[in-house]
Amino acid sequence: MTGVRCIDRFNRLTAVIMIVFLCGISLAGCKEKEEVTAAYETENYNKDIYRGGLFADNLCVSSGDVALMGAPDTSVMRASALFDLEGQKVDFAHNIFEQLYPASTTKTMTALLAIKNADLSAMVTVSANADSRSFAMDETTCGIRAGDQVSMLDLLRGLMMVSGNDAAVAIAEHIAGSTEAFAQMMNDEAARLMATRTHFVNPHGLHDINHYTTAYDLYLIFNECIKYDEFIDIISTNQYSAQITGADGAVRQEDWEQTNFYAAGMAEQPRDAVIIGGKTGTTTPAGNCLILLENSAQGRPYISVIMGADTKSLLYQNMTALINGIPANE
């Protein structure tokens, strides 16, 4: 079996109603059905099965690992998955509920909150906290400096294309006043999306033992992101030149390129699928991470994710194998 069918709202609501009805028939039966309900909630990754609408509506759902012919070598990564968005099913899953460090894939949530809560045309004044020179040499930045005036849309580009940690701080402070307050917004949004095994403490994903997610939660967040045209436009743009006004009024240009190797022509492209774009993430504790949106040869959209690959080479080698595993009949 190559996938696990997603459960639509009607069938699940009917199942819950039937369970309640049968519980009224017999006390012993009721206990049994309560156990079934608990198992159902666990299977569908939802601790709060009814909240005005059921969680798994239009989502891909799996209770655990799912095999796929030609799947990548799971021994060199910590988690991976392939989600068929149109078919609403999981074609492949490996350790998708294991809590892992997300590194800069965190920035998908930062981008989501910016798109939902900010005026993208607004000009943002960069603080000293967001100054690119305040970050360590190995911490990626997009080159903004204290006092710069940058549009929120360009900050999003710097965030998602270059993986700018400086842009993440500037966005967080503009929207919430501080990175701490923004992290609470991130956790609130994760809860709304039922990403129940996720906890954020910063907007960029620099390592913290209390900052983690799962491959499945990352899918939930990314799946929400791609509902917005602005997000798709940014992740599908390979190069961009930002015009930034400095504190002295002088305008300078910052040239940005996508960090993923597919966009840069540094990785073998999948055979038939077309990669739209996505987000990379790398720290020593997190390993090499990547989440992508791609279309199959038939134009069918998929989300693929790998977390904790041992090396960048293995990350892209196995991501290509994963995407090549899209069933030919889909």
Two tokens at 213?
A: 């997610």
Spot the catalytic one: 62, 107, 151, 304. Answer: 107
DSSP 141: -
The structure tokens listed for 318 are 């196995």
Annotated catalytic residue, options 62, 80, 132, 163: 163
Question: Residue 163 catalytic?
Answer: yes
Q: Is 75 a catalytic residue?
A: no
Active-site residue 279, yes or no? no
| Residue 90 · residue 3 · CB < 8 Å | yes
62, 104, 151, 304: the catalytic one is 104
**Which two three-digit tokens encode residue 156?**
């999003």
CA-based torsion, 308, 309, 311, 317: positive or negative? negative
d(CA 234, CA 136): 26
3-state secondary structure of 211: coil
Euclidean distance between CA atoms 168 and 173, whole angstroms: 9
Pairwise CA distance, residues 3 & 302, whole Å: 13
Instruction: Determine the Cα–Cα distance for residues 253 and 249; give it in Å rounded to an integer.
Output: 13
Given the structure tokens 């209770």, which residue do they identify?
63
Known catalytic residues are 104, 107, 163
